[in-house]
Amino acid sequence: MDRLKVSTAGESHGRALIGIIEGIPAGLTIEAEAINKQLRRRQQGYGRGGRMKIEHDQVEILSGVRWGKTLASPIALKIENRDWQNWHKGMSTLIQDEASIAPVTRARPGHADLAGALKYGFKDIRNVLERSSARETAMRVALGAVCRAFLAEFSITIGSFVIRTGGTGKRCYQEAMKAPDGLKDIEDRLVALSSRADESVVRCPFEEDSQGMIDAIDEAKDKGDTIGGVFEVFAVGLPVGLGSHVQWDKRLNGQLAQAIMSIQAVKGVECGLGFDLSQLPGSRLMDEILYSDDSGFYRLSNFAGGLEGGMTNGMPLLMRAIMKPIPTQRKPLASIDIVTKETREAAYERSDVCAVAACSVIAEAMIAFVLTDAMLCKFGGDCVEEAMRNYKNYLNYLKEF
């Protein structure tokens, strides 16, 4: 990202998670409760593990905000790990506490354990699993909430919903590809689906699929297994022209895919109709361009998911991602002890049965980072008011084009 810099620190069972975001203009209203709302959304979902009963994530704003407004300086956030009280020696920074806990030496298949231990020369896999854990994404969601506040100034809304868990649900929500009643209709439908998803324990807005998802999670839990799923994440209200076609690393679709793929356990990302685009002729799948004096350029379909040539085209941004089953198994798989080289069962760490619902919320934060950076690249501004002036001038230019 060119204008925005986001970084996090902290281990799963360490004292706290820390996040810093740089590049947010001055004058943006930031409230801790708005961030905490997103943290609560991340912690929900049927099939979550015991950790969610311990943690009640609350953010503390450490810097970059005065009297509720951003200062254009780096914003630092902190989330305490309540489970730290059980790990203050096992995750201590002091050398004298090194022998306080037995090392983890049995790598889990599908996790970062073995590759991380080999890469960094660790004989204790905990040095890897603590940071590779999805616990880190709590801070990403908190920092993403700052970006959501910025995007909201421009009437840009981000949401998501789960469409498949295990073998239950939809391949994709194809109604999101059609806008026969106009752009606002498809935007309203997507926002409504995300709101309904927040009322569902599996974050699925489709009642006909929700109970099947719950049953699939229950079945996996009874077997000591885990399951994954598919979710869709979107943004509405985006202007035409975010991103660029002129260089590979400026293409917005590539940046968005990388951001979502960075989430633990995500193994695939699609834009718009995605892989289904390969099954039909182009004459049926290109979003034909129309024009009217009232609407300007517009489309009746959105098979491209709002992205053409690495740029937004004015339609809703729509992406889909697959989350694999969580690697940690209550009935461990076969592995090797990295010290003795003997065959052993993989280590077991307290874990979720299914976290697709949480993953969808994390994906919202990830695309918020990318879209905020794209907006800042396009419209600049050292304060929100300046960025807004530039944005409104651009909208006037589009009307007169």
What mean pLDDT comes out for the span 17-34? 98
The pLDDT of residue 74: 98
What mean pLDDT comes out for the span 204-218? 96
The pLDDT of residue 329: 85
pTM of the model: 0.95
Residue 275 and residue 281 in contact, taking contact as beta carbons nearer than 8 Å: no
Q: At what angle do helices 252-261 and 356-379 cross, to 10 degrees?
A: 150
Residue 201 and residue 166 in contact, taking contact as beta carbons nearer than 8 Å: no
Q: Which residue has the higher pLDDT, 279 or 20?
A: 20
Q: What is the pLDDT of residues 81-93, one digit of tens each?
A: 998 888 989 889 9
Q: How far apart are CA 46 and CA 281, in angstroms?
A: 39
The pLDDT of residue 332: 86
What mean pLDDT comes out for the span 184-193? 95
Q: Does position 99 have pLDDT exceeding 90, yes or no? A: no
Q: What is the pLDDT of residues 132-179, one digit of tens each?
A: 999 999 999 999 999 999 999 999 999 999 999 999 999 999 999 988
Q: Does position 295 have pLDDT exceeding 90, yes or no? A: no
What mean pLDDT comes out for the span 7-15? 96
3-class SS of residue 263: coil
Q: Which of 5, 71, 35 is nearest to 370 (CA)?
A: 5
- Tokens for 161, please give them: 């919903």
Residue 161 and residue 231 in contact, taking contact as beta carbons nearer than 8 Å: yes
- Mean pLDDT in the chain? 94
Q: Does position 52 have pLDDT exceeding 70, yes or no? A: no
Q: Which of 144, 139, 143 is nearest to 9 (CA)?
A: 139
Q: What is the pLDDT of residues 302-341, one digit of tens each?
A: 999 999 999 999 999 999 999 999 988 888 889 999 999 9
The pLDDT of residue 216: 96
The pLDDT of residue 296: 87
The pLDDT of residue 53: 60
Encode burial over 238-262: b for 16+ CB neighbours within 10 A, e otherwise.
bbbebbbeeeeebbbbebbbebbee
- Residue 201 phi/psi, 5-degree rounding, is -70, -20
> Residues with Cβ < 8 Å from 50, sequence gap 6 or more?
350
Report the Cα 145 to chain-centroid distance in Å: 11
pLDDT band at 219 (very low <50, low <70, confident <90, very high): very high
Q: Which of 82, 64, 61 is nearest to 73 (CA)?
A: 64
pLDDT band at 183 (very low <50, low <70, confident <90, very high): confident
3-state secondary structure 273-285: CHHHHHHCCHHHH
Q: What is the pLDDT of residues 347-398, one digit of tens each?
A: 887 779 999 999 999 999 999 999 999 999 999 999 999 999 999 999 999 9
> Residues with Cβ < 8 Å from 304, sequence gap 6 or more?
271, 272, 273, 286, 287, 313, 315
Q: Which CATH superfamily is domain 5-400 in?
A: Chorismate synthase AroC (3.60.150.10)
Q: Does position 242 have pLDDT exceeding 80, yes or no? A: yes
pLDDT band at 100 (very low <50, low <70, confident <90, very high): confident
> Residues with Cβ < 8 Å from 164, sequence gap 6 or more?
170, 171, 209, 229, 230
Q: Does position 189 have pLDDT exceeding 90, yes or no? A: yes
